[in-house]
């Protein structure tokens, strides 16, 4: 067995022994190290210790639940993993998986988030009643976009009771995992969500996947246009961000130069016409 592998396993074994026997409380960082070393059962025990601690912070609990759920998913204990993800979402509704998450973990998380959203949004709908019924969203997309140009997604929001907190646009290039987000404060009437030109730039055509959500102050979704599992696809033509021309290639620069050049003879003539002046009195 390679020497580096032996050292790594001894290090992991030492960490397991420390977590299980130390009087010091386990931390989410220790649980993450165990997870990274594929010691999934021990990682779960470490996260359980973090979650059982009375003084655990919200950040620490979110990290512990994330590690616990992922470890359970890898072990095939999907129901327990989903329950952990739902507990996590109760603490952090906007949580997204790390980019490096495996397809299996993503599948379990996606199903858990779907169930969590149905449960929480159903309760919120009962609370809001007619105010939610009156909330309307329409979205207007361009027929296609061009790389290197900002992409403007126009929305029309009807919210007479002011229940919406923000409008969020989620977007990604087809074939990638994570969605990026741009959002604006929700207000009735026309709103625009803009994806910057530097983000759309590409030397090859591609498809942009996107969806829009109207979000409550609790982080729950009130209205949707498409969704993460079935986003809208927009064709993007190849293009780069236009370069600003140098100052010498702008019309106003040469206009200013011409103005200065044409004014020089006039100034010279004025000086000649005036000529030398006689000064009376003494200079101080």
Tell me which H or E stretch contains 38: none
Distance CA 108, CA 85 (A): 9
User: Which pairs count as long-range contacts for 99-105, CB under 8 Å and 24+ apart, including other chains?
Assistant: 99/177, 99/178, 101/70, 101/177, 102/74, 104/73, 104/74, 105/69, 105/70, 105/73, 105/74
Q: Are residues 14 and 107 in the same domain?
A: yes
Residue 227 is given by DSSP the state: B
- CA dist list (Å): 121 to 96, 113, 126, 242, 261: 18, 12, 9, 44, 71
269 falls within a domain: no
Ramachandran angles phi, psi of 223, nearest 5°: -140, 150
pLDDT per residue, tens digit, the chain (284 aa), is: 555 544 445 444 444 444 444 445 678 999 999 999 999 999 999 999 999 998 889 999 999 999 999 999 999 999 999 999 999 999 998 898 988 899 999 999 999 999 998 999 899 999 999 999 999 999 999 999 999 999 999 999 999 999 999 999 999 999 998 899 999 999 999 999 999 999 999 999 999 999 999 999 988 899 999 998 899 999 999 999 887 766 555 555 556 666 766 665 655 565 556 555 554 555 44
Domain boundary among 89, 105, 127: 127
Distance CA 204, CA 77 (A): 42
Q: Are residues 174 and 114 in the same domain?
A: no
Give yes or no for a contact between 39 and 16, defined as CB atoms under 8 angstroms apart.
Answer: yes
252 falls within a domain: no
Q: CB within 8 A of 128, min separation 6: which ones?
A: 163
pLDDT for 178 equals 86
pLDDT for 219 equals 85
Q: Are residues 121 and 32 in the same domain?
A: yes
pLDDT for 6 equals 42
- For the chain, the helix, strand and coil percentages under 3-state DSSP, each to the nearest 5: 45, 20, 30
Ramachandran angles phi, psi of 212, nearest 5°: -125, 140
Looking at residue 208, which CATH number applies to its domain? 2.20.130.20
Distance CA 268, CA 256 (A): 19
Give yes or no for a contact between 136 and 158, defined as CB atoms under 8 angstroms apart.
Answer: yes
Sign of CA dihedral 28, 34, 35, 36: positive
Q: Are residues 194 and 181 in the same domain?
A: yes
The domain in which residue 169 lies consists of 130-237
Q: Are residues 52 and 15 in the same domain?
A: yes
Looking at residue 75, which CATH number applies to its domain? 1.25.40
pLDDT for 248 equals 57
pLDDT for 229 equals 86
Domain count within the chain: 2
Q: Are residues 226 and 135 in the same domain?
A: yes
Measuring CA to CA, which residue among 155, 181, 152 is closest to residue 168?
181
Give yes or no for a contact between 165 and 208, defined as CB atoms under 8 angstroms apart.
Answer: no
Q: Are residues 105 and 153 in the same domain?
A: no
Q: In the beta sheet, which residues pair with residue 154?
A: 140, 192
Domain boundary among 127, 149, 184: 127
Q: CB within 8 A of 79, min separation 6: which ones?
A: none
pTM of the predicted protein model: 0.64
């Amino acid at each position: 067995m390679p020497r580096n592998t032996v050292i790594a396993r001894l290090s992991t074994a030492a960490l397991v022994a420390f977590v299980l026997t130390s009087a010091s409380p386990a931390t989410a960082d220790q649980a993450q190290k165990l997870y990274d070393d594929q010691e999934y059962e021990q990682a779960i025990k470490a996260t359980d210790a973090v979650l059982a601690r009375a003084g655990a912070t919200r950040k620490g609990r979110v990290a512990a639940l994330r590690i616990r759920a992922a470890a359970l998913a890898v072990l095939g204990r999907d129901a327990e993993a989903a329950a952990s993800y739902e507990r996590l979402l109760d603490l952090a509704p906007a949580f997204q998986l790390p980019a490096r998450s495996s397809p299996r973990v993503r599948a379990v998380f996606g199903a858990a988030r779907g169930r969590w959203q149905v449960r929480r949004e159903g309760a919120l709908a009962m609370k809001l009643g007619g105010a939610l019924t009156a909330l309307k969203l329409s979205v207007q997309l361009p027929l296609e976009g061009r790389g290197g140009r900002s992409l403007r997604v126009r929305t029309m929001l009807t919210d007479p009771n002011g229940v919406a907190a923000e409008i969020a646009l989620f977007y990604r290039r087809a074939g990638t995992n994570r969605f990026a987000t741009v959002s604006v404060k929700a207000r009735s009437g026309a709103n625009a969500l803009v994806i910057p030109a530097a983000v759309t730039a590409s030397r090859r055509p591609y498809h942009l996947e996107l969806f829009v959500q109207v979000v409550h102050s609790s982080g729950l979704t009130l209205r949707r246009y498409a969704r993460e599992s079935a986003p809208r696809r927009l064709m993007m033509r190849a293009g780069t961000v236009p370069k600003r021309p140098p100052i010498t290639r702008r019309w106003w620069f040469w206009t200013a130069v011409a103005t200065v050049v044409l004014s020089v003879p006039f100034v010279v003539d004025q000086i000649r016409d005036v000529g030398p002046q006689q000064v009376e009195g003494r200079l101080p």
